[in-house]
């Protein structure tokens, strides 16, 4: 460990195997909080690589509680958080739209860390039991085509870094790879990141982890979602090939609006916003979800263009299918709880 730590302190990159070796020590409780903090900070200062992210994500996923999914082409649309935007829960809302469009969504998430409400807080407000056993969660996912996977329950070994993350008070590589550690074997993914400089590296990591198709997105203002505020940058992974793209809200008929237009609040307020979107009430919140759900359908391969994805998203909301999917999830959850 001393040699590997010195390598990072010297601004040198670790290989995937080396990163996994350090992660193995971390998540077996064999390093002190000081050592973990020093390692995470040094990685951040040096700049994280795809090899390092893949090595650590491999280890976390290997130690996760596994969920049995019988569906094909499963995806997640979890973001890193950490963008300090104060936006409402965009990806959580979009998950219902994606599921309504026939995509199986294993929604991986946590409680709030950098905002007033995280995805777990929203699902709880909706009446969803986030503490179901792995067997019951598997049943819900296969029955509904959508389930919430509460990160602390899926990753019990993360307890070894909880104190360090709180004390550091800044996003680290663990934020960057959180969306990479879904306990379900994903085929495709829409991943938001607050680090525009790591779009391509993160897409490479997704390829290393076996995704056949994925989009890593960063919106205007550093949003870890596609944004109406300006240019959205994204890396598209298609069968190991990565291409870089930008889109503007006007391309798809949306009005350009500042990030303040989609400000969120506490869990109750954001849940009300989610319900207003699923009820097709016109607002910047609805438009933002339609844009992101459209990207989600495209990243999954459900449609051939982003425009087709947005059209499908609009239909899923306008028809009531997205709201029906929420009601189905709550009903099935009650039956198995």
Is 62 assigned to a binding site? Answer: no
109: annotated binding-site residue? yes
113 is in an annotated binding site: yes
Residue 118 annotated as binding?
Answer: no
Give mean pLDDT, residues 88-108. 97
**108-117, 122-131, 308-317, range with the lowest pLDDT:** 108-117
pLDDT at 114: 52
Is 47 annotated as belonging to a binding site? Answer: no
Instruction: Say if residue 268 carries a ligand binding annotation.
Output: no
| The domains spanning 1-63 and 75-155+165-336 adopt the same CATH topology | no
Is 90 annotated in a binding site? The answer is yes
Say whether pLDDT at 315 is over 60: yes
Confidence check: pLDDT of 178 > 70? yes
Q: Is 165 annotated as a binding residue?
A: yes
Closest residue by Cα to residue 337 from 182, 74, 140: 140
**Any known ligand binding at 108?**
yes
Q: Is 114 annotated as a binding residue?
A: yes
Residues 6+ apart with CB under 8 A from 197: none
- Residue-wise over 240-260: b if at least 16 C-beta within 10 A, else e? eebeeeebebeebebeebebe
pLDDT score recorded for residue 11: 96
At 115, is the pLDDT very low, low, confident or very high (cuts 50, 70, 90)? Answer: low
Over the stretch 99-110, which tens digit does the pLDDT of each residue have? 999 999 999 988
Q: Would you identify the CATH topology of the domain 75-155+165-336?
A: Pyrimidine Nucleoside Phosphorylase; Chain A, domain 2 (3.40.1030)
Mean pLDDT score across all residues of the chain: 94
Instruction: Kindly indicate the confidence band of residue 322, based on its pLDDT and cuts at 50, 70 and 90.
Output: very high
Whether residue 68 is annotated as binding a ligand: the answer is no
Q: What are the domain boundaries of the chain?
A: 1-63, 75-155+165-336
Q: What is the pLDDT of residue 240?
A: 92
Could you read off the pLDDT of 191-226 as tens digits, one per residue? 999 999 999 999 999 999 999 999 999 999 889 999
71 labeled part of a ligand binding site: no
Q: List Cα–Cα distances, 148 to 19, 51, 122, in angstroms.
A: 29, 28, 11
Which pTM was predicted?
0.93
> 335: closest CA among 67, 144, 72?
144
| Among 134, 86, 85, residue whose Cα is nearest residue 106 | 134
| 89 known ligand binder | yes
1-63 is classed in which CATH architecture? Up-down Bundle (1.20)
* pLDDT-derived band at 275, boundaries 50, 70, 90: very high
Q: Is the pLDDT reported for residue 335 higher than 90? A: yes
Q: Is 10 annotated as a binding residue?
A: no
Residue 221 known to bind ligand: no
CA distance 102 to 111: 27
Q: Is 131 annotated as a binding residue?
A: no
């Amino acid at each position: 460990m001393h040699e590997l730590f010195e390598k990072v302190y010297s601004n040198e990159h670790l290989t995937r195997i080396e990163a996994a070796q350090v992660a193995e020590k971390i998540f077996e409780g064999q390093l002190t909080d000081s050592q973990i903090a020093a390692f995470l900070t040094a990685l951040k200062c040096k700049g994280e690589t795809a090899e390092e992210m893949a090595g650590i994500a491999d280890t976390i996923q290997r130690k996760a509680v596994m969920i049995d999914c019988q569906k094909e082409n499963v995806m997640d649309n979890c973001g890193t958080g950490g963008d300090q935007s104060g936006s409402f829960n965009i990806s959580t809302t979009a998950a219902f739209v994606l599921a309504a469009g026939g995509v199986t969504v294993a929604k991986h998430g946590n409680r709030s860390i950098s905002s007033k409400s995280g995805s777990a807080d929203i699902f709880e407000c909706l009446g969803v039991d986030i503490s179901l056993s792995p067997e019951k969660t598997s049943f819900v996912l296969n029955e509904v085509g959508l389930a919430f996977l509460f990160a602390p329950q899926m990753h019990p070994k993360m307890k070894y870094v909880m104190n360090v993350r709180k004390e550091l008070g800044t996003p680290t590589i663990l934020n960057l790879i959180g969306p990479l550690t879904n306990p379900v074997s994903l085929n495709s993914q829409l991943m938001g990141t607050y680090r525009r400089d790591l779009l391509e590296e993160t897409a490479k990591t997704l390829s290393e982890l076996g995704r056949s198709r994925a989009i890593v997105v960063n919106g205007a203002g550093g949003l870890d979602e596609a944004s109406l505020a300006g240019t959205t940058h994204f890396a598209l992974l298609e069968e190991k090939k990565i291409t870089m793209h930008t889109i503007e809200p006007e391309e798809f008929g949306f009005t350009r609006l500042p990030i303040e237009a989609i400000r969120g609040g506490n869990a109750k307020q954001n849940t009300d916003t989610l319900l207003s979107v699923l009820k097709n009430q016109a607002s910047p919140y609805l438009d933002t979800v339609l844009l992101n759900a459209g990207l989600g359908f495209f990243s999954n391969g459900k449609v051939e263009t982003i425009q087709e994805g947005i059209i499908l998203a609009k239909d899923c909301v306008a028809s009531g299918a997205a709201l029906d999917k929420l009601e189905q999830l709550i009903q099935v959850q009650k039956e198995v709880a």
